[in-house]
Amino acid sequence: MPFGIVKLNDGTEMPAIAFGTGSSLRGKDATEYVEQALESGFSHIDTAAIYKNEQTVAQAIRETGLSRSDLYITTKYDGGDIQEAIQTSLSKLEIKNVDLYLIHQPFLVENNLEASWQEFEKIKEAGLSKSIGVSNFKLELLQTVVKSAKIVPAVNQINFHPYNYAEHKSLLEYSAKHGIITEAYSSLSPITKFPGGPVDAPLAAAAKRIGASPVQVIFKWVQAKGVVIVTQSSKKEHLEEYLAVADLPDLTDEEIAAIDEAGAKGPPQPASRNQFVTCVLGGYLLVRVLYEGAKWLELV
């Protein structure tokens, strides 16, 4: 089953899962990995000027032979003259327009936010990007954009997972009110960055019920929040695992609430220096006791 699409507030449609070329692919040749993602079934590629691999995204698309109409391409502005920036990205991507163009970070435009957004509106009006949006914008800044916008942002892409859901709840509610789709990167942080935390138990319980992996349960949870997934892997089996989420049963309201509540407790805290020293000394003493005990047994 296809992963599905979401309708944006400008009437266009976007695939509900994307393969990202940031993170471990940043500054690297992404050709092989983008090609693998496209062959696995991804149709939405999320790249950015700062990732320094837009040209290799274009190369991967050429090598797969897919037509432009079969693909959804997102890229992001990373400073400088906005009109020049979009033209540079289009040249590197070897296309006439992108599907979605985002302001990558608020600090790039904070000093001149209204004028910068007007430049983005010109990009959409000129047909250089079908949709325009923002990334990493918190509630107050997004509200500022919306108040003066002629064209409301279609998307806000943020770091989003169960451990930061509580702090983003108001942002998601405001976005939904204005038809702004939230995209999530780093959704797998509870597994990749914060293992052993409170979220592990409800993930495992839901995974057992629906016959899925904890990774897939996180993606089902993200979907339940009405959020689009941006993810990445160098391994084909993981990409297939992600896409298979479309065929899994939905989480129950109780399972979603359990993940929410566990996430609100926060991720596991790293061990303090004192805990580390205590652990090391404890280990040393245990080894010493065993060593001395062995010596004593030899004497007996």
- Which residues carry out catalysis? 51
- Within the chain, strands assigned E span 5-7, 13-15, 17-20, 44-46, 72-77, 98-103, 129-135, 155-159, 181-185, 228-231
**Contact present, 136 and 158 (Cβ < 8 Å):** yes
Measured distance CA(29)–CA(56) in Å, rounded: 6
161 is in an annotated binding site: no
Measured distance CA(189)–CA(195) in Å, rounded: 8
Both tokens of residue 127?
Answer: 């047909």
* DSSP sequence for 176-217: HHTTPEEEEESTTHHHHTSTTSTTHHHHHHHHHHHT--HHHH
Pairing mode, strands 13-15 and 98-103: unpaired
DSSP state of 164: T
The binding site for substrate consists of 104
The binding site consists of 104
